[in-house]
Structure 1
Amino acid sequence: MNIENNANIHLLKKIAELLNEETELEKMLSCALQVLLNGTEFTTGWIFFIDEEGGHSLEAYHNIPSSLSDDGCCLLKNGGCWCVNRFRSGKLTKASNIIECQRIEKSIAENKGDTGNIEYHATVPLQSGNESFGLLNVAAPGKNHFHEHELALLESVAFQIGSAIKRIVLTKKEQEIALMQERNRLARDLHDSVNQLLFSLTLTARGGTLLSGDEQVKETFSTIQGLAQEALTEMRALIWQLKPHGLENGLSEALNGYGEMLGMDVEVKVDGVVALSSKIEEALWRIGQEAINNAKKHSGEEAIYFQLNTSPNLVTLKIKDGGCGFHYNPVQFIPSMGIKGMQERVNQLEGQFQLKSEPGEGTEIVVKIPY
């Protein structure tokens, strides 16, 4: 028993050192799971994250049998099971033996392939204080019961991982707050300096146009006034990008306000009501903002239409203008229209991005993001 205790202490120390070094959540979970399996008799493991709505996601896994890994681990990613259901109901608070894993049972029933002689697994919640993030599941071939000392070890490892998850989440929140504060500072600086200088230049040029009796001088001042006004509009748009006024009152108001500032007629229709996360809402806002910019610069029209639809687990944003359109090739890079930036925002949220456009037919963008 002393040898076993020493081995467990060494394993916990190794995992703790790894968790302290890693700053990326996905890599941290994968490495911690691998170290756990290498240092114990467990051979298979996977980690679920479970959100406040009860939806689960597969965040890490190692050495799972082909019956569970086939089709992109669809049996692990989809459907319910005893451990996830118990977690959702708040009844899974410590390491437990799982009798007859429903996902493995389903793989056998559907003849998915080799199960690696795994029928049972142990499960333990990943927690830090009063916060719960998900589940750590481990298994081994032919093993149908996990002893108390094994479950105790799993609880210690899960506590370490839970604390590391909270640290990384808090660090990311602090980084987001710092980024927001920096954006706000830049927006204030631009408003108080460059924005005011451009406004003064516009007034000065206008005054020169009115006071001068020379037509060439008038034309020069008029050109300066037009360029200054255009630069002022661009500057105000940049300030909006840094600090989107109105987003705190919802996406519709922010898009309407931004369009009004650029002289665009924006129509937003919303079907369904849902509380989107700040990350998704900001992504939709940035995509809509870029679409309005493109319509202003390239479409030749002053109207753009937004349709926001929500359904269980999916939000869809359709954007359409009736402008001149263009030849669109998804493979061809178009640097001036920010399409790549839109796609990247959607990809980061595991969503889908579609763009349709033809000369004379306008442009339509469809964004679908799971939540």
Structure 2
Amino acid sequence: MSEKQDRIAQLERDRELLDTQIKELLRTEHRLAGARMRYERQLRRIELLNRFALAATGTQSSIDLMNLAMPMLFSLFPFEQAAAFTLRENDYLCPFCVRALAGREADSRERLGEIGEQHEISAEAPPKEPVLLGDDELGDATPFVRRVVEVTRELYAAPAPAPSTTFGASLVMPLVGRGKWALGAIVLRHDAPSLISSHERLPTEADMPFVRLTAAHVAAALQSVRLFEQVRDIAELKEAYASKVVDAQEQERIRVARELHDAIAQQLVAMRMDAEWISERLDADHPAHDVSHQLTTRLAQTIVSIRNIVYDLRPPLLDDLGVASAIKAYATQITSNAEIELDVEIVDDPEALPQQVATALYRIAQESINNAVRHAEATTLRVTVEDSGSAVLLRVRDDGRGISSDKLNASTSMGLVGMRERAALLGGELTINSRPGTGTLVSAAIPYARDPSK
């Protein structure tokens, strides 16, 4: 009987041990399941960050970047409202993009035109780390944190919480770029965190490293976009300035041409007529007869020179008959006294070009033809003007001595630099193909919008 009792007691102990082991296995399985869920959740988070980083590489504006960032943030954290604040040149932060969550569908709302100076926030002393707080904790928050949360609440027309009520929760994520460059902040908010579904939860202290990582990703992308925007703004300012310089040059050319034609040339004509009148009334053997005759000749030559200068400054044909006729007339005139065989081909004569396009094309042709006639020692010159329908094309080819690569690339060659700038300002392209002893080919293509009424 005792042996039987001992066996029963042993079985009971074995059962208890087995129960303990089973419970431990269940607890271990539960912990493993929790760890697996956390691991999978972290993988999903990392995947979202990677997708955002990849998409952000092609973004060229802060607004577009934030419209990429907001869905990611809503997927990572269970908030329903968000506001982004960006640092402006006056050291103030101002909300520039708001994204709301309607149900679980993101409803993007750009608020640039609606947010005024009353929402500006001093950029002094933003937090160095993300801050998660309830509305009942706003009184203890820093002025910066308190203000961005208040502005976010105002943007969504959320009512102010009662003094003793925790009405909502906010996560303030400072955006700090490389070199500790303060860029702004993002506020994520939920008016009723108690209504968050059971499988979601607000970030805890354990989540803060990932929150910081997320903010760092957004800040790095925003900094890159900001740098791109700055470079783009500088390029646009440079282009606008260069365009104004070119326009001013053309206006000055027109003014000088008008002055030369209307004032100086007319006075020279009157002086030549006076000299002719004097010469006709002097006897052939009079000491002043030869002088007056020479004066008449020189005045006539000066008048021709003045008229050539006026033509170079602003040829009437450019306004009257178009760029192709003006280029042909100029090439014919400048080669008339040179031993150069000229061939000008007009393919689909471009008509009714915008004035800026016509002027730029004429100046490029003028410089190219001048170089061929005066410097290249060319014997043949071929000029082609063609309208492709969306762009006007110019080719000037000579068989002269060519241009060295050093001179082609030199920034001191004002004529070549000027041609490139004129084409680039209008979205065109200019190439110069040349080697010493092989001649030169200048090719320009300048796009233009065709007038549908023409």
Fold agreement, TM-score > 0.5: no
Computing the radius of gyration from Cα coordinates, the structure with the larger value is 2
With normalisation by structure 2, the TM-score equals 0.38
